[in-house]
Structure 1
Amino acid sequence: MFQQHSRRMRTDGNRTLPRWRSFLLGWVAFCLACPLTESPTLGQDVQRGVLVQVALPIDDATQRQVESTINTIRSTATAEAGRQKLVLQFGKQGDQATGGETAFERGLQLARFLTSENATDVKTIAYVAGSVQGHAVLPVLACDQIVVAPGASLGDAGIDQASVDPVVMLAYESIAQRRRTIPIGAVRAMLDADLELVRISQVDGGDLFLSGPELAELRDQGKVWKEEQLAAPGELANFVGSQMRTYRWATHEVRDVDELATALGLSRISDSQSPNLGEVNAVLAEISGPINRRRGRRVRNNLSDAIQRHDLNLVVSHVNSAGGDLNESLELASYFANLPAQGIRTAALVDPQAVGDAALVALAAQQVYMSPEANLGGPGAASFSAAALDDLSEAIDQIARSTGRSPALLRGLLDRELEVFEYLDARSGRVAYFSSDEHAARDDAARWARQGAVALADGISAEQALQLGLITGIESDLKQVCRKVGLKDLPQRLDERWIVNFVESLGRQVWLPRMLLFIGFFMLSVEIGAPGIGFPGFISMVSLMLFFWIQAAGGTAEWLEIFLFVGGVLCLLAEVLLFPGFGIFGIGGLVMLVASLVLVSQTFVLPSNAYQYNQLTGNLIGVLVAIGGMLGGGLALRWMLPQLPFFRHLMMVEDEEEKQIRAENEAIVHWDHLQGQRGIATTPLVPSGKARFGEELIAVVSDGPMIDPQRPVIVKQVYGNRVVVEELIDDDEPE
């Protein structure tokens, strides 16, 4: 079995071919090879490969990335294209990352996937570009082919364990036997320091790499002609790139990806983070405004439906939110984090903000970009305690690990009280981020030296997020992000009713709801000042309906706010029409009105952080502007509207005769003679207006509901020049 790995092919020097036969065979070989070369005129398809950067140490995000890429390649492959070549690059030249601390279960799970039926349609090539140690060796052994860089090394698989577990050894032997790229004896010596590894040249030819009982057995049989010790007892076997190439474990030794493409006969090797892996079926999910149960459920349902109907393999999300509901954001983030397992790549753009719990949704994507002025994390629309975060810490950590991000950094963006520090591994130079409790709970805590605290409480900028490794890059707009992920243009938006998309886009314009509120109150003031006209009242009703509709689409308008608004308006009308001068309905209605307008614009009741205080201030300013609209409406009725031709008929404009009559009447202090007199209302009494008693046109006040023009009235009381009237009901009109 071992001879199959190491026996060299030999040629018989005694047998030669005539020169003419050699020439003929060479010509035939050339003719057969010509159709296989690339020729644009012949229309042959060029063969390309896909490169996946395998971050070390290997974590859940790395596993998901590899599986997602393979699933994507399988879904887009054609029978004519054959097996697509997938290059897994382990480490980088000069990089100090080694792959140590890779959990055995994680390395084994990825190795099993690479050797399973799911990967049979893809030829996997392990490109060992840096130093690969620990259980990161397992996925290298699971690849179909190994290629090395000049300064690379592979080995020391047991560096993170004090003793060898038989189950671990059995797993290594099983993976090595499936691929047979590296002899099992060498693999055992990488894992168990007690084993001696020897390269043996046999008497009958061929080399073997043996360790343990097989080495002792071969020595006893006297079949050893020459020995070369590669790893002494007490040290783990580790092989540099030149050794692996000499032993023919590695098929090529290349300096970079371009040389690798040439060695593999590929026209190009594209990075899996940016290329078009065939036909891309993408969709754009807009996540803007407050995040609540209704919005989160709608996004998940629409995405699931689009995945089933359109066979999506890429989801791009545009996040502009301050959060609103931690549980709903966590559920939505978990949904996005699980998409790569279905072969669906995910990317996100944060513009201009993903603060509060909305940071969870943004960072659940594989590739995250931020606009230059964007903010990530920190205080948001929802406030949550440290206890609430502790209850959900396991789910938050799972989202962080599934995307290859630091769990401590992600929790620090949500919890203002959590202190996160930067730690440096003196052995490998690796930088990581932990809280004090996380660092103390680690078995290798002594290896990590604390460097300094990371400021996360108030959120971070795009540059800070990039330095911390939380985002992929900084891009100015969504089109640039789409090009980064292999799209030529913006993808189609997530299927929703066009009216919902339109209203939500209007809701993102901060000025529009406030403008609608101002117009609504302005026109309401005009209608109250000149009732019965109808047009200002209709405009007011439409403006207020649009205001509440936009807020309801944004998830902030609930039944409480609507009831408060309607109740406040009814109380103010009652104060004006039914109980003038009493005050309780007016004050209560005004309080209800202001409370409804403030609450309908935010997701919280009482502010508890800087973001909420700023939002409350803005909402109060908007309400004051709306109330100013009512005052402006009154002023417009009094001074401006009478001067405008189109609006002149809305006001009760006096002619010269009426002005003279009013001046004469106002000179008379007492109207006692009008007590009990009947007359006709010449203007609407709301409650003040004018009525005619015989030849006299008198300014009167209604003692009750509004009285329409041309209705009979009777003088109820006279207080000097104040005449109080009421409407005559079921009585003959005076002549």
Structure 2
Amino acid sequence: MLNLQGIPRLPISLRAIFIILSVLLLVEYNLLLAQGQDQQQTAVLIEVQLPIQNTNIGGITRALDSAIENAGKAKVKNQRPWLLIRFLPLSENNQIRSDFGACNTLESYLSSPSLTRRCRTVAILNGKYADHAFLPVLSCSKLIVSPETNIHGPEADTSLLTSEVKDDYRRVAEAHKHFPASVIEAVLDPTVALHEVTTDESTFFATGVERQELFDKGKLNSSTAISVSGDILTLDKLIFNQQSAITVMPTNDTTLATELNIAPTRFLKSSGPIGEIHAVVVDMAQLQSPSRIRDKQILINNLADQHNLIIFQFESDGAHTDELINLANTIADLRYEEVKTVAYIKDHARGAAGILALACDEIYLGPEGSLGGFGNSTKLGELTFEIQETLLALEKTTTREWSLFYRCLQPTIELHIFTRAQTGETRGFCPQQIMSLDDKDQWTRGTPLNDRRHFNAEDLQTLGHLQGVASDLSAVLGNYDLKLSDVEIKTTTGLSGFLNEVAHSDWFLWATLTMAIYGLIAELAAPGLGVPGLISLLGFGLHIWARHLNGTVDALEIILILIGVICIGVELFVTPGFGLFGIGGICSLLFGLILSAQSFSLPTNPFQRQQIANSFLGIIGTIVGTVLLYQISIRLFGDSWIGRIIAPKNNDLATAQRNNWNEAMVHWEHLVGQTGQTTSRLSPAGKARLGSKVYDVVSDGEMVSANSMIKVIEVIGNRIVVSKSS
């Protein structure tokens, strides 16, 4: 045991002080230990696509609020997370610039104590910038730029930079000190020269006036002109590198995480991919049938497990509304799995297909692209409670007004642009949505969006829902530093997907229809069911199967086609002669084929009327083309074995040519006096075989039974009169 008898006892006051200091040291040690265990930061990265305008500032601030909320949930106690804002520059062809008022609103938001208490802001720049987005950039607490970044003045016409605008830039620059006042003055006013000057104390930037003052006082050792009066100043890495508050480095996710000491598990990215991009393109052109839509849903869910960027390429007329709404919910929910979704519509996404594009995080249109409008989707009818609840769920997930989804489902609804006076925010509302808002009195109704029943690039830009205009898929991929060779384009999955793809192809549809009509014509030319008849039945069967997979054939179309084929068969084998069954069968078959080419029975809008006209012309064109093909083939194959199959009664080429000439001239006098046998009952019209051919004939008045001997007694034009012969 330790002997403390030789140690003098400390006074009580000193012992108390010793104990308190020991406790404080222990607490500090634990805090330092905890910090050492978790020094890495939490961050959320959000991309802001320029231009920043009154139409999209509301959506930007809402997205920032949501991002900060997500970061707050993942942060470590007593730690302010990073809010990383990547400002995406305008494309070279985009002449639209950011509004100063909207940028001023964003600057106020980023500088507000309510935000700075919750997070630290970082502006990330990579590219060329020449608009008022420079103002909110200056308001961030940290600035990270790539070596390739260039910043020009916010207005090409400097007369638009009023003294009030310049004062705002000076105020923000002074508060955050990313750039000295001299640099800001030279950026805002091209008449202000900028120099890099050296004095005994330091090296810094000075305006032309400030340089002259230093020279007059004898304090100027040397100077280098950065820009002279009248030149437009460009801020580049030469200037950036001399600012201690600015970091110049590559701005990819990996370098950002290293620079800011961000924990990989706490590096969030708002509705988008984190780190390395694993992208895939999904072709959304084949959405005509429920089976196709379900197959697409399975494909998307499978792809979401292995990719964090899915680009949907649309070319659809819409179809089954309920199934497409379910698919839209699937796409919208991908943001919860940290999968970014992008819609690209080069030409159109009509009807309910438009809600699929609206469910994506970003939307790109082709130069002539359109979203929504009249299509093949089933008519929605009135806005029921169930439908409104479904649309509200989509609005909550996507932060897009449910009125836009409703317009896609019901193109005839009234839609207006509304503006909130307090913030300048612009939204598109239908009467039902604006009346349901608690703050409806704060919104002012403006321009209607009813001239067109679809949304074009201008409409979506006004509403703040357009990411950009892209001429092709490569241009869209370029926004994510991707090329076509970097991604795989997915259409379908599995055997059912392959069959769907075959059934959807135009060549298969028209090939099967041509085969069916060709066999029918050959069968009409050769009494009795033979190879042509089997080919025709096979062609009709495959055509109906393909149309069924495409979702355009239902019970009505199948019944009409079957009635047509049966009636034509009755005309051939039961009641020879071209009468009611023949005409009715052809009309029924034609009507069934036309209806099977689209997903609706009766057209209800201009698009459907145009489509049914195109279907009619396509069917008629196929029939005419098949008739010509048949005539060419019987002359081409002649007396060969193929010729005997498609035209067995004309296997004697000389006889066929002579009879064809006679029939074409309606010159059947050569038949007078010939004898033959009836192939059907003459009552008084029917059919009879004369030589090697079967003709339509009429008796001289009496009824003649089938298989009776007859003799041609008279020919008048194309009327062949026969009498019973003993």
* 2:284 matches 1:326: no
Deviation at 1:418, TM superposition (A): 2.4
Is the alpha carbon distance of 1:508 and 1:472 closer, same or farther for their aligned partners in structure 2, counting shifts above 3 Å? farther
Deviation at 1:324, TM superposition (A): 1.3
- The CA distance in 2 between the partners of 1:533 and 1:100, in whole Å, is 72
- The CA distance in 1 between the partners of 2:426 and 2:513, in whole Å, is 52
- Residues 422 and 453 in structure 1, CA contact (< 8 A), matched pair in contact too: yes
Deviation at 1:562, TM superposition (A): 3.2
Aligned partner (choices 292, 295, 303) of residue 295 of structure 1: 292
* 2:85 matches 1:113: no
Residue equivalent to 2:563: 567
- The CA distance in 1 between the partners of 2:117 and 2:641, in whole Å, is 86
* 2:577 matches 1:620: no
Residue equivalent to 1:525: 521
- The CA distance in 1 between the partners of 2:48 and 2:531, in whole Å, is 72
- The CA distance in 2 between the partners of 1:138 and 1:320, in whole Å, is 45
- With 409-418 and 471-480 compared, the bigger mean Cα shift is at 409-418
* 2:249 matches 1:267: yes
1:146-545 correspondence runs (5 A): 263=245, 265=247, 267-270=249-252, 277-308=274-305, 311-388=306-383, 391-436=386-431, 438-455=433-450, 457-488=452-483, 489-493=486-490, 496-497=493-494, 500-501=497-498, 504=501, 507=504, 509=506, 513-514=509-510, 516-530=512-526, 540=536, 543-545=539-541
* 2:107 matches 1:131: yes
- The CA distance in 2 between the partners of 1:491 and 1:658, in whole Å, is 57
1:461 partner letter = N
- With 374-383 and 401-410 compared, the bigger mean Cα shift is at 401-410
Any idea what SS the aligned residue of 2:597 has?
coil
For residues 137-184 of structure 1, give each alpha carbon's deviation from its aligned partner in whole angstroms, at most 9, with x where no partner exists: 7565332567899966999xxxxxxxxxxxxxxxxxxxxxxxxxxxxx
Is the alpha carbon distance of 1:595 and 1:370 closer, same or farther for their aligned partners in structure 2, counting shifts above 3 Å? same
- Residues 603 and 609 in structure 2, CA contact (< 8 A), matched pair in contact too: yes
1:610-689 correspondence runs (5 A): 610-629=606-625, 631-632=627-628, 636=632, 640=635, 649=644, 650=647, 651-653=650-652, 655=654, 669=672, 688-689=688-689
Residue equivalent to 2:713: 720
- The CA distance in 2 between the partners of 1:472 and 1:675, in whole Å, is 78
Residue equivalent to 1:188: none
Is the alpha carbon distance of 1:513 and 1:462 closer, same or farther for their aligned partners in structure 2, counting shifts above 3 Å? farther
Is the alpha carbon distance of 1:108 and 1:630 closer, same or farther for their aligned partners in structure 2, counting shifts above 3 Å? closer
For residues 308-341 of structure 1, give each alpha carbon's deviation from its aligned partner in whole angstroms, at most 9, with x where no partner exists: 4xx3222221211111122221111111011011
- The CA distance in 2 between the partners of 1:368 and 1:243, in whole Å, is 38
Paired residue total: 527
Is the alpha carbon distance of 1:353 and 1:504 closer, same or farther for their aligned partners in structure 2, counting shifts above 3 Å? farther
Deviation at 1:257, TM superposition (A): 12
- Residues 565 and 593 in structure 1, CA contact (< 8 A), matched pair in contact too: yes
- With 582-591 and 267-276 compared, the bigger mean Cα shift is at 267-276
Q: How well do the aligned residues superpose, as a CA RMSD in angstroms?
A: 5.3
Deviation at 1:561, TM superposition (A): 2.6
- TM-score under structure 2 length normalisation: 0.59
1:267 partner letter = M
2:419 partner letter = L
* Structure 1 unpaired stretches of 5+: 1-78, 156-239, 247-252, 679-685, 692-696, 704-712, 727-735
* 2:119 matches 1:143: yes
- The CA distance in 1 between the partners of 2:134 and 2:313, in whole Å, is 43
Any idea what SS the aligned residue of 1:522 has?
helix
Deviation at 1:601, TM superposition (A): 0.9
Any idea what SS the aligned residue of 2:416 has?
strand
Deviation at 1:554, TM superposition (A): 2.1
Any idea what SS the aligned residue of 2:283 has?
strand
- The CA distance in 2 between the partners of 1:573 and 1:370, in whole Å, is 52
Deviation at 1:298, TM superposition (A): 1.6
- The CA distance in 1 between the partners of 2:394 and 2:386, in whole Å, is 15
Any idea what SS the aligned residue of 2:345 has?
strand
Deviation at 1:619, TM superposition (A): 1.3
- With 618-627 and 82-91 compared, the bigger mean Cα shift is at 82-91
- The CA distance in 2 between the partners of 1:442 and 1:547, in whole Å, is 51
- The CA distance in 2 between the partners of 1:135 and 1:292, in whole Å, is 52
- The CA distance in 2 between the partners of 1:244 and 1:405, in whole Å, is 35
Aligned partner (choices 601, 604, 610) of residue 608 of structure 1: 604
- TM-score under structure 1 length normalisation: 0.58
- With 299-308 and 108-117 compared, the bigger mean Cα shift is at 108-117
1:341 partner letter = Y
- Residues 293 and 324 in structure 2, CA contact (< 8 A), matched pair in contact too: yes
- Residues 715 and 725 in structure 1, CA contact (< 8 A), matched pair in contact too: yes
- The CA distance in 2 between the partners of 1:362 and 1:320, in whole Å, is 11
Deviation at 1:291, TM superposition (A): 4.0
- Residues 328 and 356 in structure 2, CA contact (< 8 A), matched pair in contact too: yes
2:582 partner letter = G
Deviation at 1:551, TM superposition (A): 2.3
Is the alpha carbon distance of 1:98 and 1:548 closer, same or farther for their aligned partners in structure 2, counting shifts above 3 Å? closer
- Residues 125 and 144 in structure 1, CA contact (< 8 A), matched pair in contact too: yes
- The CA distance in 2 between the partners of 1:671 and 1:404, in whole Å, is 85
- The CA distance in 1 between the partners of 2:563 and 2:276, in whole Å, is 56
- The CA distance in 1 between the partners of 2:66 and 2:655, in whole Å, is 97
Any idea what SS the aligned residue of 2:360 has?
coil
Any idea what SS the aligned residue of 1:372 has?
coil
Is the alpha carbon distance of 1:522 and 1:724 closer, same or farther for their aligned partners in structure 2, counting shifts above 3 Å? farther
Deviation at 1:491, TM superposition (A): 2.2
1:279 partner letter = E
Is the alpha carbon distance of 1:558 and 1:401 closer, same or farther for their aligned partners in structure 2, counting shifts above 3 Å? same
- The CA distance in 1 between the partners of 2:656 and 2:173, in whole Å, is 113
Identity %: 22
* 2:593 matches 1:597: yes
- The CA distance in 1 between the partners of 2:674 and 2:68, in whole Å, is 104
Any idea what SS the aligned residue of 2:448 has?
strand
Deviation at 1:610, TM superposition (A): 0.6
- Residues 366 and 469 in structure 2, CA contact (< 8 A), matched pair in contact too: yes
Is the alpha carbon distance of 1:505 and 1:123 closer, same or farther for their aligned partners in structure 2, counting shifts above 3 Å? farther
Is the alpha carbon distance of 1:523 and 1:327 closer, same or farther for their aligned partners in structure 2, counting shifts above 3 Å? same
Residue equivalent to 1:195: none
- The CA distance in 2 between the partners of 1:495 and 1:118, in whole Å, is 41
- Residues 282 and 314 in structure 1, CA contact (< 8 A), matched pair in contact too: yes
Deviation at 1:295, TM superposition (A): 2.1
For residues 436-465 of structure 1, give each alpha carbon's deviation from its aligned partner in whole angstroms, at most 9, with x where no partner exists: 454455454454433321236532333443
- The CA distance in 2 between the partners of 1:125 and 1:557, in whole Å, is 54
